[in-house]
Amino acid sequence: MAKLPLHTQFPSIQALREALGSGALSATELARSALDAIEGQAGLNAFLHVDPDLTLNQARAADETLKAGGAPALAGVPIAHKDVFVTRGWRSTAASRMLANYTSPFDATVVSRLADAGAVSLGKLNCDEFAMGSGNETSVFGPVRNPWDHNAVPGGSSGGSAAAVAAGLVMAATGTDTGGSIRQPAALCGISGIKPTYGTVSRLGMIAYGSSLDQAGPIARHARDLLELLDPMSGFDPHDATSLERCDDEPNAPGRIRAGFDAALARQQRNGSRPLEGLRIGVPREYFGAGLAPDVAQAVEQALRAFESLGAIRVEISLPRTELAIPAYYVIAPAEASSNLSRYDGVRYGHRSDSYTDLEDMTSRSRFEGFGPEVRRRVLVGTYVLSHGYYDAYYLQAQRVRRMIANDFQQAFAQHCDVIMGPVTPSVAKSIGDNREDPIADWLADIYTLGVSLAGLPAMSVPCGFGAERPLPVGLQIIGNYFTEGGLLAVADCYQQATDWHQRTPGQQ
**CB 468, CB 420: distance < 8 Å:** no
SS3 assignment, position 225: helix
Please give the Cα distance from 152 to 429 (Å, whole number): 6
Rounded to the nearest 10 degrees, the angle between the axes of helix 485-498 and helix 294-309 is: 90
Contacts by 347-352, CB closer than 8 A, 24 or more apart: 349/99, 349/102, 350/98, 350/99, 350/102, 351/97, 351/98, 351/99, 351/100
End-to-end CA distance of the chain: 27
Q: Has 353 been annotated as catalytic?
A: no
Coil/strand/helix, residue 47: strand
Residue 340 CA to residue 334 CA, distance in Å, equals 10
CA 389, CA 63: separation in Å to the nearest integer?
61
In angstroms, rounded to a whole number, what is the distance separating the alpha carbons of residues 272 and 308? 15
Who's near 61: CB < 8 A, 6+ residues apart?
Answer: none
Active-site residue flag, 192: no
Distances (CA, A) of 473 to 277, 296, 503: 28, 9, 12
Q: Check if the beta carbon of residue 367 is closer than 8 Å to that of residue 99.
A: no
Q: Is 325 within 8 Å of 447 (Cβ atoms)?
A: yes
C-alpha–C-alpha distance, residues 420 and 400, integer Å: 23
Residue 157: active-site member:
yes
Q: At what angle do helices 223-233 and 485-498 cross, to 10 degrees?
A: 160
- Residue 254 DSSP code: T
As a whole number of angstroms, the distance between CA 468 and CA 456 comes to 33
Out of 157, 192, 202, 453, the active site residue is 157
Answer for the pair 126, 160: CB distance below 8 angstroms, yes or no. Answer: yes
Q: Where are the beta strands (DSSP E) in 337-492?
A: 419-423, 459-466, 473-479
Question: How long a stretch of residues is the chain?
Answer: 509
3-state SS, residue 419: strand
Given the residues 33, 82, 104, 158, select the one marked as catalytic. Answer: 82
Catalytic residue among 33, 104, 161, 181: 181
Catalytic residue set: 82, 157, 181
